[in-house]
Structure 1
């Protein structure tokens, strides 16, 4: 084999995956069709859960001048996402090119090899690996790997050539977006419904404003969009002319909604937009792609290292596919509320009344942020055991048994399992000793309570490398069984 994993695509999902694989010890080669890094600001931020995951790898601080906002919307209906502790509508002030720059630096620092200007054209899979054909500056080449991951976007060549089904609905309309400078554009942060459609405007860095123009009756057209088209549509909807403005980037998008029916076929896997496309409502696309990468990375690295338990890699699909399907439903709902015109106003009014109820706002905040996600972690425990089981491990300050302090997010920087225990007898730590090459044990005086527990006490937690809780004491079942389920057999075995 030339390498352990070939990743096609150097967008956020592909770069994050490469870094995760390197943290797990796997060799990674990335092939990217673009000869140079994109300077497009296609995405301008990410959600609360992606924020946490960047913090759990110690890279959030690499993004400068970012802002976190509690106030957001669902389909244009205002919501305070901070109603859940630690939640927010998202990070703003981070255009996608800066996120990609940060993730590329991280992946290459860790030893991932990135080759730009290479078009992926073919693949052949056998029992031992995958051979890919790429056409680059040196001509046509073949490379082999044990696994291939397609992170090559909504029109994924990997998905097509590997025969994945991409079920869903075609686009019904086209919408425009542009970064504009030198035009007096008032902020319209959650979108403004107008008789002819909807417009949004959000300030960016260096005096630019991101505008989105959704004009009713615009059919999907894959042709290249010009700023004149965008400015014409803006003027038709708002009455304001921005034709004199300067633009650095213009693009279009649609409401096409599709999802791969499976995220893995043998030695070929999909992540990010290659696995799911949807209306870009609330900046969720980049965020769930990053979360796909964090879920897949440690599992695939463990499989390559030879200590993954049977079926671990299959849990990538079983855990992430329902998440993608839920995001697709949510974005379709937001499109109905925000893009259907005046006929949907009664529904918007009812939804606004519902979201004024704190319990409903908490539900929506948890759904969009990803904070309410609960994986099944074995034997039904994720739904019937301790309330923390299967859920994300929120960052907290820990009072260590030796008198020092630490934070949970910092403990997850190496992308290893972490067992945090207040068991003074040493029995819990002794049980985990056989997994010391994969799981770090942290002794604390007490495990600090948070709102997620719902009043239930917690003595110890086992946290997976992606930040989700695989076992708790009490009410979490046997620790040894949990360690075997997620980290394989002991080194002694």
Structure 2
């Protein structure tokens, strides 16, 4: 193994999807990046099908598209039999998601109520973690990120000028350290972040096994008087035992898995042998802040919750997209005051909502008569058009909006993927990692103003049949609308540009 270099702009702990995506974002912004990963081999059976299958939310799909990653991931998904990997993908009616296993369907959703989105602009994609990591690692390295496997962070020393990281291969220094090293994050603990939340109520199990006599096991997800199980033939099982999380991180044996499966299913099924067995819980904890000096957190290092609904990956990738351009601008010396602090102020509330969403699902999963009654009410609600639309907005992430203050209804939301003529879309114009001023009114004054931020903001005069009566909009590098106007541009544009892109007279570091 080659010795570590001595200095980087950013060291990232963890080469999972969040760390790899963040590395790519930082390289796009010109920062030197080292990714440290404790495990030598990225392979794990839990990352492939069926357990590694993840449904990507709309914000995640949009972020991947804006960085030219979506087409490659779609090809990976098409090359694998994802339909056979999960019971819900085998249904004739197309489910759009679920809340504690209570499904809602695409044909129920009234997308016309999402007036801030273009018609038909709600896509979906399910792909396994192994494919996601493979694509992100390749792209990060192609941009120049250094990935060092078998070399994890052991501890750290941080000061106002930077961070010294101690690894099994030696020490290295960086201006910044970002912990993307999971729920048991060493970075979070070593840097002294406060991590608070609620303790687990159950132990969950993901199992691939050889089973005998499965005639009494029903396909799909089922709640019973003693827990929950999901069965996909011939031997894929997810199950929940409300034991207060007592068996988490234990090594599941064949005998124990059989005992729990019989308990929660009420059957006499026999587990002949185990191929894969892993545990998880509904522990829901969140760092009280995502930045302490020169150390930042993203992904599971910043927040953990149950995997119900597959929100963890999407939440973490959203962190990486939000933080990447802000940290890169800070390193270049062009960030306005407070830009990096907006990472916590924007992403912490999003994380808190996801944790509460997870807790709410656990509340109706408990094996009690009160929870079953509550589940019946939710089932009735989710079966209505209003209910399905509400749950879809939350689960698919289309309601995501940062509180960026008063202004146009689009401000704080994901920018619509407008067609801009000549076959190009807005998403394609964000692949440079710069901001974008889109002018549907061909305003000469706006073009002159945008020129002051040359290299940070691209200016496009465009016409579109689907511009939603928006006259102009300023889009951040992460695709979030920072400013918009309906008609004639107003003085608020320059204020918004300075707020997000800094003083136009400042210069980057050499």
Supply the distance in 1 between the matched residues of 2:246 and 2:423 (Cα, whole angstroms). 55
Supply the distance in 2 between the matched residues of 1:19 and 1:226 (Cα, whole angstroms). 40
CA RMSD of aligned residues (A): 2.4
What is the aligned partner in structure 2 of residue 117 from structure 1?
150
Alignment CA distance shift 1:182-1:223 (3 Å): closer
Supply the distance in 1 between the matched residues of 2:461 and 2:258 (Cα, whole angstroms). 60
For normalisation by structure 1, the TM-score amounts to 0.88
- Choose the corresponding residue for 1:313, options 335, 340, 345: 340
What is the aligned partner in structure 2 of residue 479 from structure 1?
493
What is the aligned partner in structure 1 of residue 189 from structure 2?
160
1:273-331 per-position Cα deviation (integer Å, ceiling 9, x unaligned): 00000011110001100000000000000000110100000000000000000000000
Within the alignment, does 1:192 sit opposite 2:222 as a pair? yes
Supply the distance in 2 between the matched residues of 1:196 and 1:331 (Cα, whole angstroms). 20
Partner SS, residue 446 of structure 1: coil
Within the alignment, does 1:91 sit opposite 2:125 as a pair? yes
Within the alignment, does 1:363 sit opposite 2:390 as a pair? yes
1:13-45 per-position Cα deviation (integer Å, ceiling 9, x unaligned): 111110110111111001110011132325411
- Choose the corresponding residue for 1:294, options 321, 327, 334: 321
Supply the distance in 1 between the matched residues of 2:210 and 2:444 (Cα, whole angstroms). 62
Supply the distance in 2 between the matched residues of 1:108 and 1:187 (Cα, whole angstroms). 45
What does residue range 61-460 of structure 1 map to in structure 2 within 5 Å?
61-63=71-73, 64-66=76-78, 70-80=95-105, 82-84=109-111, 85-87=120-122, 91-92=125-126, 94-136=127-169, 141-180=170-209, 188-189=219-220, 191-201=221-231, 210-217=236-243, 219-221=245-247, 222-238=249-265, 239=267, 241=269, 243-244=271-272, 247=275, 249-377=276-404, 380-381=405-406, 385-399=407-421, 404-446=422-464, 448-449=466-467, 457-460=469-472
Supply the distance in 1 between the matched residues of 2:408 and 2:358 (Cα, whole angstroms). 31
1:201-239 per-position Cα deviation (integer Å, ceiling 9, x unaligned): 458xxxx86421113446422311235533442344332
- Structure 2 residue runs without a partner (length 5+): 1-5, 83-88, 112-119
Partner SS, residue 259 of structure 1: strand
1:148-173 per-position Cα deviation (integer Å, ceiling 9, x unaligned): 01001000111001000001122232
Cα deviation, residue 341, structure 1: 3.8
Cα deviation, residue 200, structure 1: 1.9
1:353-393 per-position Cα deviation (integer Å, ceiling 9, x unaligned): 2223433332222222221121122xx22xxx221111012
- Structure 1 residue runs without a partner (length 5+): 451-456
For normalisation by structure 2, the TM-score amounts to 0.85
Given that 1:214 and 1:339 are in contact with CA atoms closer than 8 Å, whether structure 2 keeps it comes out as no
Within the alignment, does 1:44 sit opposite 2:61 as a pair? no
Partner SS, residue 282 of structure 1: helix
Given that 2:262 and 2:269 are in contact with CA atoms closer than 8 Å, whether structure 1 keeps it comes out as yes
Cα deviation, residue 188, structure 1: 4.8
Q: Report the more deviating stretch, 162-171 or 264-273.
A: 162-171
Supply the distance in 2 between the matched residues of 1:408 and 1:425 (Cα, whole angstroms). 18
Given that 1:392 and 1:468 are in contact with CA atoms closer than 8 Å, whether structure 2 keeps it comes out as yes
Supply the distance in 1 between the matched residues of 2:420 and 2:366 (Cα, whole angstroms). 46
Partner SS, residue 337 of structure 1: helix
Supply the distance in 2 between the matched residues of 1:108 and 1:339 (Cα, whole angstroms). 45
Supply the distance in 1 between the matched residues of 2:465 and 2:176 (Cα, whole angstroms). 39
Partner SS, residue 308 of structure 2: coil
Supply the distance in 2 between the matched residues of 1:74 and 1:394 (Cα, whole angstroms). 27
Supply the distance in 2 between the matched residues of 1:127 and 1:5 (Cα, whole angstroms). 14
Alignment CA distance shift 1:340-1:312 (3 Å): farther
Cα deviation, residue 180, structure 1: 4.7
Cα deviation, residue 491, structure 1: 4.4
What is the aligned partner in structure 2 of residue 57 from structure 1?
67
Given that 1:74 and 1:334 are in contact with CA atoms closer than 8 Å, whether structure 2 keeps it comes out as yes
1:94-150 per-position Cα deviation (integer Å, ceiling 9, x unaligned): 2212211111111111111011111311211122111110113xxxx1110000010
What is the aligned partner in structure 1 of residue 502 from structure 2?
488
Cα deviation, residue 83, structure 1: 4.0
Given that 2:161 and 2:175 are in contact with CA atoms closer than 8 Å, whether structure 1 keeps it comes out as yes
Alignment CA distance shift 1:99-1:213 (3 Å): same
Alignment CA distance shift 1:373-1:214 (3 Å): same
Given that 1:179 and 1:250 are in contact with CA atoms closer than 8 Å, whether structure 2 keeps it comes out as yes
Supply the distance in 2 between the matched residues of 1:372 and 1:22 (Cα, whole angstroms). 29
Partner SS, residue 243 of structure 1: strand
